[in-house]
Structure 1
C-alpha cells in the first residue's frame, strides 16, 4: 500500500496562475501522487494546452469542473481520480469542492476555504455526510519549526500563554496594480466578485489567524478590528490590524497589510507565556527562537535530533539545509496522502500524519474574515468571535 501513488486531479492552475504550479510541485515532491486529469482554465483551449504540457492523456483533460467530476466518477475504481486539488479563485471553491466530495473524491482546497462563511459551514456538513477527507492548504503550518513551536507551547514549557503577536506584511499592492489589466493576481484578489468581502484580510490575514491558533492551541473569542483601504480606487481592504482576546483570557495583536512597500512575505509570530516566549519568521524558517526567563536565548534548528516527532515527520534533509515554502506546502500534501493511504488500508493514521489543516480551520478562517470586516465597519470596541452567519 505504501508505494501506491494516489491519482490526483486538478481544477484551476492554468496559464498565469501562481498557486497551481506550487500545488503541482508539492504533490510531486514525495511521489505520493500522480496527476492523471484536470481542468486548468475556464477557457477550454487554455485548459487543453496546459494539460498537454503536463503530459496528461487528451481524454482526461476536461473543459469544465463538472465534466471532470462526472466523467471521472464513471471510470472504474482502479482508474478514476482519487483526490481532487482545487486551486481556483475564491468564488470557484465551494461548488467544485461540494461536487467532488459528493462523488466520492477526497479534496485538497486552496485557502480561504470558500467565498463566504455560509458556504464553509455547508461544506463542513458535506464533509461529515460523505466521510471524504479534506485538506486546506494553510502553507505556513507545514514548516517543521512551526510544528515544533506548537509542540513547545502544548508541552507547557512556556507556562500559561499571556500574549501573542502575529504579522504578515506585504508590499506588492502598495500601488494600484489591478488598474494595469496585465496583473492577473492583483485583478482577481482585489475584485469583490471573485475574492469575497475581504482583500488583505482574506488573502493573508487568514494565514496569520490560522498560524496563531495552530501554534498557540488557543481560539480567538473576541476581536476589535481596524480595516483600511489605503490605495485610491481599490474595492477591498489592503491593510488592517486586529486586537484579539483568546479562550484562556489572554490577548494578542494581528497585523496584515499589502501596502508595506518593499516587504515580501515575512510572516512572523511571537508567543509569550509566564515562563518564556518563542519567535518564528519565514525569512529564517529553519530557526525557532526560544526565550526562557532568566536563561540565555536558544536557537532551535530544523533537523536537530532534540526536536519533536512532529518536526521530524516534516523534515527531509540533514540539519543546515534550508527547508522552505515548497517543502512546507509538500508536507501538507504528504501528510494528507499518508492519512488517505492509512484509511484505505483500514489503519489508524498517526497524530503526525493527521497534522494538516482541515474543514474546521476552513470554517474558522471564513468566520475570521466576516467578523473582522464587520468589526472594521462598527464603532463598537469589542465584538464576539461568532461562527454564526
Structure 2
C-alpha cells in the first residue's frame, strides 16, 4: 500500500497564484496529503484558506512558527513530514531554516532566498540537518528537457560550444504595480523581491535551465540590465553574455516588457557534432539538429527516449503534458526520495533528478553577479559565490 506523505504549506492562501499550482502538483501522483498549513501571515485569512481547502481547523495555524511548534508536538505518525513554502522571496529563509531544524523535509519556491548571504547560510543548514530539500525550478521537470540533458551528457553532440536561453514575458509592459495586481506589487518591490526584478523572477529560470541542460557552470558574465517602465523600482528587462567552464559561450535574456509574449522560455544548445532546441510553447517536442544529416524530432512518450524522460512521462505519446505535470514531476521525484530515506534505501538516479540546494545557491549568485555586472563599467566580471 502506498503511504502518502503528510504535507504542510506555508503561504499560498486565498488569491495566491503559486500556492494553488503547488497543491495541484502535489496531488497529481497521489504521493502527498495536505494535512496542515499557515496559509497567510494574517491568521484570519489563514483560517479561511484552510477551511476552503478542507483542512482540520486545529491544524490551520496563524504563523509558520506556530505550525512548527505544534506539529512537532504531535505523535510521529501524525505530524507533518514535508513542508511546502510558497511565500514571497523575503519570507523564504527563516521558514525554510526553521523547518529543516525542526526535522522536516522542505520544498521551496524559487528564487531560493532574498540574498546570496542567506543562500549560503541555508546550504549549511541543509548539510547539518541531513534533511532533503527541493527548489521548484519547474522547467527542469519537462520530459524533453530531461532528454536534452541526457543527450548532452551522452556526448552525442560533442563538446558544447554555444548556448542560447531566453525567457520573454509581457505582463509588466505597463505599471501594473500601481493598481490591485498583488503579484506585480511584491515582485517589483525590492523590500520583498530582493535586488532583482525580472532577472530574479524569470532570469533565474533561464540561468538554471542553461546549466541544467548543459551540465556546465558559468564562470564569467557581462550584463545589460534595464528598467523600462517609468517609476518601476527593479529591473524589468535584461540580457547577459555568459562564459562557461568548458570554454563555451552563451547568451541569456529575460524580459517582462515584451508586449504580447506569455511564458515561452526557450533554450538552444550547440556542440561540435550537433545541437538541440526546446521551447515551452511546444513542450512535447525536442529538436535534435545534426551537422551532416536531417534534423530529428523527439517526442514525449516515444519509446526511444532515455529512462529519465520516460520516468517523467505519464501519458502515451501525442497527449500533451505541460507546466502542471512538469511541476508535479519535481514533487513526485522528491516524494520518492523522501520515502526511500524513511526506509533507509537508496533512491534511484531518476528520482534524484530535481533541483536542490546547490542550484539555489547558484541561482542567487547569478542574481547578485548579473546585477553587479549591469552596474559595472567592466566588460566582464567573474562569476563569484
Give the TM-score taking structure 2 as reference length: 1.00
| Shift, 1:294, TM fit | 1.1
Q: What is the CA–CA distance in structure 2 between the aligned matches of 1:203 and 1:310, rounded to whole Å?
A: 27
SS at match of 1:322: coil
Shift of residue 64, structure 1, vs aligned partner: 0.3
- The aligned residue for residue 375 of structure 1 is 373
Q: Which runs of 5+ in 2 are unaligned?
A: none
Hey, what's the Cα distance between the residues in 2 that align with 1:273 and 1:239? 29
CA RMSD of aligned residues (A): 0.5
Deviation at 1:154, TM superposition (A): 0.4
- CA deviation profile, 1:109-158 (whole Å, cap 9, x unmatched): 00000000000000000000000000000000000000000000000010
Identify the residue that residue 292 of structure 1 maps to in structure 2.
290
CA distance in 1, matches of 2:130, 2:72: 17
Corresponding position of 1:354: 352
Encode CA deviations 1:331-373: one digit per residue, 9 max, x unaligned: 0000000000011111100100000000000000000000000
Kindly provide the CA deviation profile for residues 51-103 of structure 1, in whole angstroms up to 9, marking residues without a partner as x: 01111000000000000011101111000000000000000000000000000
2:151 corresponds in structure 1 to 152
* Structure 1 unaligned blocks of 5 or more: none
- Correspondence for 2:383 among 362, 382, 385: 385
> In the aligned structure 2, how far is the partner of 1:44 from the partner of 1:294?
63
The answer as to 2:249 corresponding to 1:261 is no
Shift of 1:45: 1.0
Aligned length, in residue pairs: 385
Q: Report the Cα offset of residue 295 of structure 1.
A: 0.6
Alignment of 1:32-71 (within 5 A): 32-71=31-70
3-state SS of 2:37 partner: strand
**2:65 aligned with 1:98:** no
Residues 200-233 of structure 1: CA deviation (Å, up to 9, x unaligned): 0000000000000000000000000000000000
- Check if 1:27 corresponds to 2:38: no
| Structure 1 residue runs of 4 or more that deviate by more than 6 Å after TM superposition | none
Cα distance in 1, alignment partners of residues 111 and 66 from structure 2: 24
Q: Secondary structure at the match of 1:323?
A: coil
- Pick the aligned partner of 2:181 from 180, 183, 187: 183
Aligned residue number for residue 277 of structure 2:
279
User: What are the equivalent positions in structure 2 for 1:1-389 lying under 5 Å apart?
Assistant: 3-180=2-179, 182-387=180-385
Q: Deviations over 1:169-204 (max 9, x none)?
A: 000000000011x10000000000000000000000
| 1:296-352: CA deviation from partner (whole Å, max 9, x where unpaired) | 111100000000000001000000000000000000000000000011111100100
Counterpart-to-counterpart distance in 2, 1:74 and 1:101: 16
Q: Quick one: distance in 1 between partners of 2:39 and 2:93?
A: 17
